[in-house]
A and B are shown apart, each in its own frame.
Chain A
Amino acid sequence: MSVVRVVGRSVVVRHVVRAVGELFAVSIIAFAVTGLAPGDVFGEARLERQLSPAAVAAMRSREGLDRPFLARYARWVESVAHGDLGRSVAYGAPIAPLVARRALNSLVLVSASLATTWIIVLPLGVWMAARDRSADGRLLAAGATALIAVPDLLIAIALLLAAAATGVLPTGGARAIDPADAGGLAALGDRLRHLVLPVAALTLIAAPPLARHVRASMLDALRAPYVVAAAARGIPYRRLLWRSALRAAANPLVALFGLSFAALFSASMIVEVVMSWPGLGPMLLDAVRARDEQLVLAGVMLSTVLLLFGNGCADVLLRVVDPRITA
């Protein structure tokens, strides 16, 4: 079965066109919203006594902050076209290189968490569905429900405090060893060690609701007439569970996969800030605090791009898994 044939080029093209349109609209709204904000990055400078108001005004006009809204937007679009993504006034540098590494870090964290979450959730959900009539399955389902009620922020903090108390894992940053100082393997090990805590937090945040959903779809699938009929024909339960029911439950699960990407992405912001992971989240937070208009914009746009990309992938995947969907 050729993926390309099933998916069809038009679906991908349509996704891209739609995403570009949405990004364009998001950029205008975000630009307008940040532009409306009273005060700017030089708000602090104005309080400084050594700087005359004229000097501050000169700084503002050098960064183009005194120009009208549409002119600033046009200049921003131009810089996006140049691949700079605008200019951060607080850093005094083009944004693209600043943001690229941050976005990569966020993506690493989110994809690692996505992988661990699904590796845990799929067997767990199936097992909970299979053991639905016994105490252990119900107990685990109740535990998942209780864990859903614990706010993301507190899960992240609890893990951080536990790590700080035991001292087993590093409690912040993405690495302690400079790759220039140590061999590739040591640097890789160091990065992986730093990844453990935030990934564990994100998994703990994302897994409980997903496990419940997997359990629910599996329970639905197990009740389907053809599964009951297969059971009546004497097909072993294990095979029934993993082959018949799981395949039937795959459809909602793939849709769920796309949603889980979005949920993880949003939750990663909290985890990144709490565990000082150098991703998009802390950068955006600093940019908001510093009133760095274009950096805020870049952070919002990039997070939207990543999210749209994830949703697009999930949609394409859905078509691959279920050829009935053609619209």
Chain B
Amino acid sequence: MRPTLGTAIAVGAVYAAVLGAAFLSPYDPAAQHRDHPLAPPTRVHFVDREGRAHLRPFVYAGDREEGDAVPVRFFARGVDEDGSIGSRRLLSVEPPANIFLAGTDELGRDQFSRLLYGGRISLGAGLFAGALALTIGLLLGCAAGFFGRWVDGAVMAASDLFMALPWLYLLLAIRAALPLDVSPGRALASVVLVIGIAGWARPARLVRGVVLSARTRDYVTAAAASGASRARLMLAHVLPEAFSVAITQASILVPQYTLAEITLSFFGLGVGEPTPSWGTMINAMLRQELSAAHWWLAAPAAALVIVSLLYHAVADALHQRPAGALR
């Protein structure tokens, strides 16, 4: 019995966490705590120095576990930098104490908050790019398989070309066509566009294959013989088969495209600072060359490994399900 449900729940939890970044993160991802550069992760205590246990967790005000005990607040509204009342956050502490669950980077920005917001960019880009590539692939693949002849020839020739290029070189070539210095929103959109355009070929080929084989199935022939229109044949009989291929493909493509976003922003071609992405965070970790002394800078790498393992588990489970059903 494979832990299918467990991994699905875990992946869902990761997406929920990055989606709820504004609530789950203790700080604004761009806020710089200039007095606390490269601070180690703040430890949350339940037992104080005198050995007394407390029901409410607390942290010590100093970076090195010194100073007064400051209780952790739950569901409190913070005060933004401009002095206005901010949104509710799950965890916060009264300044001057800090709660850096994964330490801070060289500018004193809270890594845990950046991890959540950066995950929103990286995982979100993977999801949207996967949806885009699958949509293009589904449309072109269906068209190629259904209309055949020159449509088929043109789509297959184009997909040959896209698959003839090495994946990362293709990404860079398409990235070269889009502006470099733009607002975070437009940068994210262009990254999604680049990856989606670069990745349509494989799903299109697979969908074409499915459509070609579905067209010759008895029930499709029967539907055609009883006078179903071409549109109805396509929508009611052929497309559902293509969808199941698309779902299995999604489990492979979304991780690949998440990595593509991370690689692009690692190269400095994705969403720029101060908006965090896991790619820029990993780049910062490399640039600092501090990782041995400041191990918490490896947090984005650790998060990426965990998410990759989860993705692989899901893809494995999806792939083995049809085979298992036959056995």
Query: Which residues of the partner chain A approach B178 to less than 8 Å between Cβ atoms?
Result: 37
Query: 1/0 per residue A242-278: CB within 8 Å of B?
Result: 0000000000000000000010011101100110000
Judge whether A11 is part of the interface by a CB distance below 8 angstroms. Answer: no
- A29 to B166 alpha-carbon distance, docked (Å): 15
Query: Which residues of the partner chain B approach A25 to less than 8 Å between Cβ atoms?
Result: 157, 161
Task: Determine if A308 and B309 form an interchain contact, defined as CB atoms under 8 angstroms apart.
Answer: no
| B311 CB to nearest chain A CB (Å) | 8
Q: Which of A33, A273, A300 contacts B267 (CB 8 A)?
A: A273
- A266 to B305 alpha-carbon distance, docked (Å): 20
The segment from A143-151, A213-221, A315-323 that touches chain B is A143-151
Judge whether A289 is part of the interface by a CB distance below 8 angstroms. Answer: yes
Task: Determine if A288 and B175 form an interchain contact, defined as CB atoms under 8 angstroms apart.
Answer: yes
Q: List 15 A-B contacts (CB under 8 A).
A: A26-B161, A29-B161, A37-B178, A148-B312, A154-B282, A154-B304, A157-B282, A160-B286, A161-B291, A269-B166, A273-B267, A284-B169, A285-B172, A287-B176, A304-B166
Task: Determine if B309 and A146 form an interchain contact, defined as CB atoms under 8 angstroms apart.
Answer: yes
Task: Determine if B176 and A151 form an interchain contact, defined as CB atoms under 8 angstroms apart.
Answer: no
Task: Determine if B259 and A151 form an interchain contact, defined as CB atoms under 8 angstroms apart.
Answer: yes
Task: Determine if B305 and A22 form an interchain contact, defined as CB atoms under 8 angstroms apart.
Answer: no
Query: Which residues of the partner chain B approach A151 to less than 8 Å between Cβ atoms?
Result: 259, 262, 304-305, 308
7 further interface pairs, Cβ-Cβ under 8 Å (given A33-B176, A293-B176) = A34-B173, A36-B177, A39-B179, A149-B312, A151-B259, A288-B269, A296-B172
Judge whether B263 is part of the interface by a CB distance below 8 angstroms. Answer: yes
Judge whether A135 is part of the interface by a CB distance below 8 angstroms. Answer: no
Task: Determine if A149 and B161 form an interchain contact, defined as CB atoms under 8 angstroms apart.
Answer: no
Given contacts A270-B263, A288-B269, A289-B268, contact A149 B177 (CB under 8 A): no
Query: 1/0 per residue A102-130: CB within 8 Å of B?
Result: 00000000000000000000000000000
Q: Which of A161, A164, A265, A288 contacts B166 (CB 8 A)?
A: A265
Query: 1/0 per residue A284-302: CB within 8 Å of B?
Result: 1101110101001001100
| B179 CB to nearest chain A CB (Å) | 5
Most buried by A among B161, B173, B285, B312: B173
Judge whether B5 is part of the interface by a CB distance below 8 angstroms. Answer: no
Judge whether B164 is part of the interface by a CB distance below 8 angstroms. Answer: yes
Task: Determine if A288 and B168 form an interchain contact, defined as CB atoms under 8 angstroms apart.
Answer: no
Query: Which residues of the partner chain B approach A266 to less than 8 Å between Cβ atoms?
Result: 166-169
Task: Determine if A300 and B169 form an interchain contact, defined as CB atoms under 8 angstroms apart.
Answer: yes
- A209 to B56 alpha-carbon distance, docked (Å): 48
Task: Determine if A149 and B172 form an interchain contact, defined as CB atoms under 8 angstroms apart.
Answer: no
Judge whether A168 is part of the interface by a CB distance below 8 angstroms. Answer: no
Task: Determine if A33 and B177 form an interchain contact, defined as CB atoms under 8 angstroms apart.
Answer: yes
Query: Which residues of the partner chain B approach A273 to less than 8 Å between Cβ atoms?
Result: 267
Task: Determine if B263 and A153 form an interchain contact, defined as CB atoms under 8 angstroms apart.
Answer: yes
Judge whether A180 is part of the interface by a CB distance below 8 angstroms. Answer: no
- A11 to B166 alpha-carbon distance, docked (Å): 24
Chain B interface size band reads 35 or more
Task: Determine if B259 and A153 form an interchain contact, defined as CB atoms under 8 angstroms apart.
Answer: yes
Judge whether B289 is part of the interface by a CB distance below 8 angstroms. Answer: yes
Nearest B residue (CB) for A38: B179
Given contacts A157-B282, A308-B164, contact A34 B176 (CB under 8 A): yes
Task: Determine if A150 and B305 form an interchain contact, defined as CB atoms under 8 angstroms apart.
Answer: yes
| B8 CB to nearest chain A CB (Å) | 17
Query: 1/0 per residue B164-207: CB within 8 Å of A?
Result: 11111110111111111000000000000000000000000000
Task: Determine if B289 and A164 form an interchain contact, defined as CB atoms under 8 angstroms apart.
Answer: yes
Q: Which of A37, A157, A265 contacts B176 (CB 8 A)?
A: A37
Nearest B residue (CB) for A267: B168
Task: Determine if B168 and A270 form an interchain contact, defined as CB atoms under 8 angstroms apart.
Answer: yes
Judge whether A229 is part of the interface by a CB distance below 8 angstroms. Answer: no
Query: Which residues of the partner chain B approach A165 to less than 8 Å between Cβ atoms?
Result: 292
Nearest A residue (CB) for B312: A149
Judge whether A65 is part of the interface by a CB distance below 8 angstroms. Answer: no
Task: Determine if A307 and B165 form an interchain contact, defined as CB atoms under 8 angstroms apart.
Answer: yes
Number of interface residues of A (CB under 8 A): 49
Task: Determine if B164 and A33 form an interchain contact, defined as CB atoms under 8 angstroms apart.
Answer: no
Task: Determine if A150 and B308 form an interchain contact, defined as CB atoms under 8 angstroms apart.
Answer: yes
Task: Determine if A34 and B177 form an interchain contact, defined as CB atoms under 8 angstroms apart.
Answer: yes
Q: For residues 289 through 321 of chain B, which have their beta carbon under 8 Å from a beta carbon of chain A?
A: 289, 291-292, 301, 304-305, 308-309, 311-312
| A309 CB to nearest chain B CB (Å) | 12
Query: Which residues of the partner chain A approach B262 to less than 8 Å between Cβ atoms?
Result: 151, 153
Task: Determine if A149 and B169 form an interchain contact, defined as CB atoms under 8 angstroms apart.
Answer: no
Task: Determine if A37 and B177 form an interchain contact, defined as CB atoms under 8 angstroms apart.
Answer: yes
| B270 CB to nearest chain A CB (Å) | 12
Query: Which residues of the partner chain B approach A307 to less than 8 Å between Cβ atoms?
Result: 164-166
What are the 7 closest A-B residue pairs judged by CB atoms, nearest first? Answer: A266-B166, A149-B312, A269-B168, A303-B169, A33-B177, A300-B173, A37-B177
Task: Determine if B269 and A149 form an interchain contact, defined as CB atoms under 8 angstroms apart.
Answer: no
Query: Which residues of the partner chain B approach A308 to less than 8 Å between Cβ atoms?
Result: 164
| A21 CB to nearest chain B CB (Å) | 10
Judge whether A241 is part of the interface by a CB distance below 8 angstroms. Answer: no
Query: Which residues of the partner chain B approach A270 to less than 8 Å between Cβ atoms?
Result: 168, 263
Given contacts A37-B177, A154-B301, A273-B267, contact A284 B172 (CB under 8 A): yes
Query: 1/0 per residue B252-287: CB within 8 Å of A?
Result: 000000010011001111000000000000100110
- A136 to B158 alpha-carbon distance, docked (Å): 46
| A155 CB to nearest chain B CB (Å) | 10
Q: For residues 141 through 177 of chain A, which have their beta carbon under 8 Å from a beta carbon of chain B?
A: 145-146, 148-154, 157, 160-161, 164-165
Task: Determine if B164 and A26 form an interchain contact, defined as CB atoms under 8 angstroms apart.
Answer: yes
Query: Which residues of the partner chain B approach A161 to less than 8 Å between Cβ atoms?
Result: 286, 289, 291-292
Judge whether A30 is part of the interface by a CB distance below 8 angstroms. Answer: yes
